[in-house]
Chain A
Amino acid sequence: MASGLYIHVPFCRQKCAYCDFYSVAATPEAIERYLQLVVAEAELRGQGQTINTVFWGGGTPSLLSPRQISTVLDRVSRYFCVAQDAEITMEANPETLEQQGLVAYRQAGINRLSLGVQSLEPGLLPLLGRRHTAEQAQAAVSWAQAAGFSSLSCDLIYGIPGQTLASWQHDVQTLAACGVPHLSLYCLEVYEATPLGRAVAGGRVPRPDDDLSADMYDWARAYLPEQGLPQYEISNFARPGWECKHNINYWQNGEYLGLGPAACSYWQGVRDCNVRDLAAYEQQISCGRRPIGSSECLDERGAAAETVILGLRLNAGVDGIAFAQRFGYTLETAFGDVIEELLHKGWLVRTSRGYALAKKMQPIANSVFCSFLSDSNT
């Protein structure tokens, strides 16, 4: 099975209004210091494990210079065995990019770019706290293509207060027409502890309308396959062959290592997350300790349930053969009753290798997922 490496870059120019990921304001010194720590963590963690995908997430990884990216990738490669053909993704915010820089990132080893476009509607970007304009976003797409990023993905958000179905359709159509081979469509989730969450709670911004969000989603899932971008996961659409390998590994419940504050790992049955706070992270690394904030060792039943829940997110569904090879018993042995009931309700369908969510259940899949959680887990 493939394994991934995730590197969390906890810096942003400005915090987005809806985001509850860990990030802090960037200074050149802080970034330099952080890069040394990530390399130090890689040294603590690395034992020559084979890595098939690398994902620079954040935060805003594109605040790092191409030289910094290249240096870290080189040094990390000393402790891990990064495959020759590894998929190396970087998340980027449009306003941080320049045409020249994109060529340099490519030379630094990045071969897949994930652009945080979020919306092309000028009125909605400030509400989200995004600093780029719609023009910058579209320019970033064409520069990336010109720089040779054939593997290019854009994130779009739907269900934004004030967003209309027409404006959403325009966003999706525009990016599809640009020839972007991968789109991630995320429904806005309003978290209480974010500026947007507080604005909604305080009545200053209307709560997103679930029915409208559902209409937007349904429209996109019908439209994109017609444009040659079939859906392969609840929120993801790609031209065949351009799916994100790093994320597919998550959904197949594969192993991965995370570096940087707040980064998570799943390795040899243990899930752990690093401390979120940069200072605490630095302190631990400086003492030569792994900066673990929380850790859990999944029992076999828990691991099996997660394999199903994650697998069902994929349109291909959960792979029963891979499951049996991994756990030594079949899906039916582990979850026969639940699967029977869900098939009977029409919430699951059989596939050649296992089971998949019924199409109609994709936007309301939580109840399916919940039925695989055992009561003792709750």
Chain B
Amino acid sequence: MQRNIRNFCIIAHIDHGKSTLADQLIQTTGTLSKREMVDQVLDNMDLERERGITIKLQTVRLLYHAEDGQEYMLNLIDTPGHVDFSYEVSRSLAACEGALLVVDAVQGIEAQTLANVYLALEHNLAIIPVINKIDLPAADPERVKREIEDVIGIDAEEAILCSAKEGIGIAEILERIVSDVPAASGASEAPLRALIFDSFYDDYRGVITYLRVVDGSLEPGMKVRMMATGKEFEVDDVGVFTPPMLSLPQLTAGQVGYMAASIKNVKDTQVGDTITLAKGGAKGPLAGYKKVMPMVFCGLYPVDTVQYEDLRTALDKLQLNDASLVYEPETSEALGFGFRCGFLGLLHMEVIQERLEREYDLDLITTAPNTVYQATLVDGSVIRVDNPALLPAESKLESLAEPFVKASIIVPSDFIGNMMELAKERRGIFVNMDYLDTSRVVLTYELPLSEILYDFFDQLKSRSKGYASLDYEVVGYRESDLQRLDILINGEVLDALSTIVHKDRAYNKGKGLVERLRKIIPRQMFDVPLQAAIGNKIIARETVKALRKDVLSKCYGGDISRKRKLLEKQKEGKKRMKQVGSVEIPQEAFMAVLKVDD
């Protein structure tokens, strides 16, 4: 059987049609009938479908009758397409032997594609180039083929021309998976070794692990051991995703599927760990993954303090499905009790925040995100600072370092100037420029992570008319001339608004921030001064003028109920604001720093 198993994934930039192609494969192989298809079945979180992105890994088993008359088991392992989630991509690649490289016939290769192809090449995957959307009038498959050859250096002569939307090329793709992707490797007679590449929590069955059986086989009743944690479990159930879970008597070498073993704590099944037999297990584990460090942090606080415990419970539950989310309790003088949370990137942060509000019905204040700084103190010790408010006083600081990234920007050559200007504004250091072809280049820059956290991607898009694409990886810490910018509202420092900024930017940032806050904070019963300060020095000031008009003036022909309802609505609106001292501050004020141009 093993020689009839093919494990593959799809590598594509956002919007290049990965989900549509996956749907076509599922439908063409008859895994799901048309009636059962919800559009883009692999993106099954509401948020994913709304945003058109894949966040959580999904897998599906396809049964395919090939032209050679044999039946093959094709396991498609989905990969996330956003830069925040490149860690998850490498997880799925480790479970595969091949990859479909999907490139848009109009847009060509993008930064994200490139990064993921390099990852796939590192994992020695067979790569099948697929040029998608050939039905579009502006499609130029020949140019895209040349690009694939020039940039990635793989033969694109045999690239499949496809339109997932129109169903063109799907049959050929299925045949090529059979012929080009090596049969699943692994020793069926050896002791069990299975690689965990994802997991989720089911309220009734405990943790469900997604795994790839490499050696041996796995079946219910077996006693298994997690090689990294040493925890042992009895297997309740194994099976595959069709995409609904389908129980099987066993999973054999080469197969991809799931295991349920009444595991109550998701931390017991670390992604990247190897499952083996409790007795007579394998000697060494499979190569795992290196643990990702969250690089983006923000504070999450309930608007209503009574929701603190609900927030904790919700974070606990989300972490069951998302090991990359970290959090610990923190206290803010302004906002009370909350959590400092760490994320893979900004999108990851937004997704978690939205899920907390939507799925757990929480009303949250999110503070502006920041990176993790390294502070060297005068006594020589080094501490990590993930909350600007906790940065030690200047007198105690020897130096400050911040994470830098290496960023690749692919852009039509017309926009090189704009990109360079943007990178310069963001303290970028030019590394390299390569022509992909006569009209497109890859620009390589080193930039502080903090500079690309906010609106860098939006700026990149708007200054390139949407053509630029971006990928980046953290390359390490570097010393920078940084200082903390505090905001005082009505004379009091509002700790949740403190940020760490570069010295050259402090003035503009402070000025921009108080101007923005003046627009966001509604007029109160008295004048409210807003100040930006570095240490004890005030560098900018604005005033929210006292409220002068707030009364319903008309009689409404005796419609008192309507009048009262307006007042009730107003009172409700006030309740959603955070009372800090005697000032009422709307939630969005805490994210104001994101919208400041300096």
Contact = CB atoms under 8 A, between A and B. Distances in A.
Interface of A: 4, 6, 8, 21, 55, 57, 159, 186-187, 189, 210-211, 213-214, 217, 234-235, 247, 250, 253, 256, 258, 262-266, 271, 273, 294, 296, 306, 309-310, 362-367, 369-370, 373, 377-378
Contact of B558 (A250, A294, A377): A250
A55 B561 CA distance: 19
Contacts of B553: 186-187, 189, 234-235
A258 B557 CA distance: 9
B537 interface: no
B561 A296 contact: yes
Interface in B86-112: none
Given A234-B551, A362-B551, A377 B561 contact: no
Given A211-B548, A217-B549, 9 more contacts: A250-B558, A256-B558, A271-B561, A306-B560, A362-B551, A366-B570, A367-B525, A377-B568, A378-B572
Contacts, number: 95
Contact of A366 (B556, B561, B567, B572): B567
Contacts of B523: 210
A210 B560 contact: no
A4 B558 CA distance: 10
Interface in B545-581: 545, 547-561, 564, 567-568, 570-572, 574-575
Contacts of A210: 523, 548-549
A277 to B, nearest CB: 16
Interface string B524-558: 01000000000000000000010111111111111
B473 to A, nearest CB: 44
Interface of B: 523, 525, 545, 547-561, 564, 567-568, 570-572, 574-575
Contacts of A186: 553-554
A40 to B, nearest CB: 20
Nearest to A347: B525
A34 to B, nearest CB: 16
Contact of A370 (B548, B556, B557, B571): B571
A264 B556 CA distance: 9
Nearest to A216: B549
Contact of A363 (B545, B550, B571, B574): B550
Contact of B568 (A213, A362, A373): A373
Interface centre among A211, A250, A362 (most CB of B within 10 A): A250
A264 B523 CA distance: 34
Contacts of B525: 364, 367
A1 B47 CA distance: 59
Given A363-B549, A366-B551, A378-B571, A57 B560 contact: no
Nearest to B575: A378
A55 B555 CA distance: 12
A310 B570 CA distance: 17
B72 to A, nearest CB: 59
Contacts of A6: 557-558
A79 to B, nearest CB: 19
B75 to A, nearest CB: 53
B217 to A, nearest CB: 62
A20 to B, nearest CB: 10
B558 A264 contact: yes
B272 to A, nearest CB: 50
A273 B567 contact: no
Contacts of A214: 548-549
B551 A264 contact: no
21 contacts: A6-B557, A189-B553, A189-B554, A210-B548, A210-B549, A211-B548, A211-B549, A213-B548, A213-B549, A214-B548, A250-B560, A263-B557, A264-B560, A264-B561, A271-B560, A309-B567, A362-B551, A363-B551, A369-B567, A370-B571, A377-B568
B438 to A, nearest CB: 44
A55 B557 CA distance: 9
A-B complex: 7 closest residue pairs judged by Cβ atoms: A214-B548, A365-B551, A370-B571, A364-B550, A210-B549, A264-B559, A366-B550
Contacts of A296: 561
Contacts of A262: 557
B561 A373 contact: no
Given A364-B525, A367-B525, A370-B570, A247 B555 contact: yes
A309 B564 contact: yes
B551 A370 contact: no
B558 A258 contact: yes
Given A367-B525, A373-B567, A187 B549 contact: yes
Contact of B549 (A253, A256, A273, A364): A364
A342 B468 CA distance: 58
Contacts of A265: 558
B563 to A, nearest CB: 8
Given A187-B553, A373-B571, A378-B572, A363 B548 contact: yes
A372 to B, nearest CB: 9
Contacts of B549: 159, 187, 210-211, 213-214, 217, 363-364
Nearest to A305: B564
